[in-house]
Amino acid sequence: MNKLKKAEEFVNVHRVKKEQFPAFHVTPPCGWMNDPNGFSSYHGKIHLFYQFHPYNEAWGPMHWGHSETTDFVKWTELPITLAPDQSYDDAGCFSGSAIETEKGHLLVYTGVTEQEENGVKNVYQDQCLAIGNGETYTKLAQNPVVTGDMMPEHFSREHFRDPKIWKEEDGYYMVVGNKTDDGKPHVVLFHSEDAISWEYVSVLAKDDTGMLGTMWECPDFFCLDGAYVLITSPQNLSADEEFHNGNNSVYYMGSYDKNQHMFHYDAVYSLDDGLDFYAPQTMLADDGRRIMIAWMQSWDSNIRPEGQKWSGMMILPRELKVKDGKILQSPVREIENYHRNGVRYEKQEVQGTCRFDGIKGRVLDMTVEIAGGNFREFTISVAQNEQFHTDFSILQHKNRIEIDRTYSGMVRDANAIRRVKVKSPCKKWKLRIILDKYSMEVFLNDGQQVFSTTFYTSLEADQISFACDGKAIVNLEKYDIVVA
C-alpha cells in the first residue's frame, strides 16, 4: 500500500468527531497540524494545505493535509494531498505554497531527505512541484526543481525551505528561506518562465547583525497598498520590547530594487503579540484583498490536554492593509455573515468586577470600547467559571498589554504569560475579541496590534467578566457565531 493511501485510510478510521473541534478554525481531522501551506485560490475556491502528521498528536514525517472554502470561514476537509513517498522527499514534504496556472493548481514544497555519509547523517532540503485539479495531485518527474547547488557557496543545504511562489509579467518568482554557514538568515530569490525550470536570481534580503534570528522560515514577499512587505518567521530571534525569545513571526517594511532584485528594509515589526502564532502565509484573493492565515500554536509551548486526539489549529484568516507604514489586521469580513443573537450595551460603568446579561459564551465576536473613565488596569476574563479563566489586561499606567492563561487549566504550559508594550499611544481603547471554543484573538484599536492565544479549558467555563481598579465607561457589542 502506498503512503498516501495508507495515511488516508488511517484518517478515515481515526477521524475525531466534529463537536470536539472549534466551530470555524481549521484543524486536522486527527493527529498533528503545523504550518499553513498552499494558501491560494483555484477555480473560484480557496484552498488551504497544511503540515500534517496523521498518525499521532506529535510532529512526525510531514504530509500535506487539505481543506477548502468559499468564504474563509466554513471549511470542508479534502483528502490528503502529499505523502513523503519519493526518494527526494522521503523524510518529509515540508512547507510550501501554491498558484493557479494554465496547467492546473501548482504546489511548490520542500522535499527533505536524509543521507548517511562517512558515518554522519546529513539532511538535504530541495524544492519540488506537484500539479493537480483541486482534489488530486501528482508530483512532477522533474523533481526536485530547485536544489541547493544552484545557490552561492556557503549557503545551507539543510536549512533551505518553505518556498513561496507568485507570478509577474516576466514569469514566476519564488522566495525560499536559507541561512549561511555562519548562521546568518537569508531569503533567496528564484525565477522561472514556465514555473518548471528555475534559475537562481539573488539574495532578496538578509540580516548580518545577528539580531534578527538565525534562520528565516516561511518567507512571503508582496506589495500591499503601494508598500513592499517581507514576512518571515525567524528562529532564535533576540528578545526586546518588540519580540520575545524563540520563534516569532515578523514583517519588514522597505523598498524593492527590481533591477537588482534586492529588498532593502528599514523597519521590522511583530505580526502578532499573543502566545500562539507562527508561520503566516498570505494570498491575494480574487477581489484584491491580501488575506493572511497562520498556525495558532507555538513551538515554545505544548498545552494540548491529555487524551485529545488532535493538535493544532489555524487563526481565523485576516485582511491586511498598510497605514502609516505599518500593517493593520482585521478578521475577514465574511465572519459577520455568521453573526447571531446580538447584544449591545452603551455607556456602562465598570468599577470593581462585573458581568453583563447576555455577554457570555465560547464562540463569539465581541467588541469592547472603553470610551472614558480613570483607571490603571482593566481586565477582561474569558472562558471563566469558579475554577478557570483566561485574562486579557490593559495596564494603562505602564502602556502595556498582558495576557495570562495561568488559570486556564493547562498544567504543562511553560509560557502562560505574555507582556507586550502598546505600540501606539491610546486615548481610547477598542478591543475586538474573537472566541472559538479553545482560542482567543484580540484586535486592538482596529488591528494596530493583534494577540492570538489558545487555551483548552472545559467548555463549561463560558462566563465573561470585566474588572477595573478605577472606573471605566464601556460600550459592548457581542454576537454569537453560528457556523452550521
The residues carrying an active-site annotation are: 35
Amino acid of residue 345? Y
Element (H, E) at 35: strand 31-42
How far apart CA 452 and CA 315 sit, in angstroms, is 8
Supply φ then ψ for residue 336, to 5 degrees.
Answer: -70, -20
How far apart CA 207 and CA 111 sit, in angstroms, is 26
Instruction: Kindly give, in sequence order, each residue whose CB lies less than 8 Å from that of residue 477, ignoring residues fewer than 6 positions away.
Output: 342, 343, 344, 345, 366, 367
DSSP 56-120: SSS--S-EEEEEEESSSSSEEEEEEEE-S-STTTTTEEEEEEEEEETTEEEEEEEEEEEEEETTE
How far apart CA 368 and CA 319 sit, in angstroms, is 20
How far apart CA 47 and CA 70 sit, in angstroms, is 9
How far apart CA 3 and CA 18 sit, in angstroms, is 25
Task: For residue 405, give Cα distances in angstroms to 34, 102, 316, 383, 484.
Answer: 22, 48, 20, 10, 29
Length of the chain (residues)? 484
318's grid cell: 485576516
Quote helix, strand, coil % in the chain, to nearest 5. Answer: 5, 55, 40
Q: Do the beta carbons of residue 39 and residue 283 sit within 8 Å?
A: yes
Residues paired with residue 327 on neighbouring β-strands, in sequence order = 322
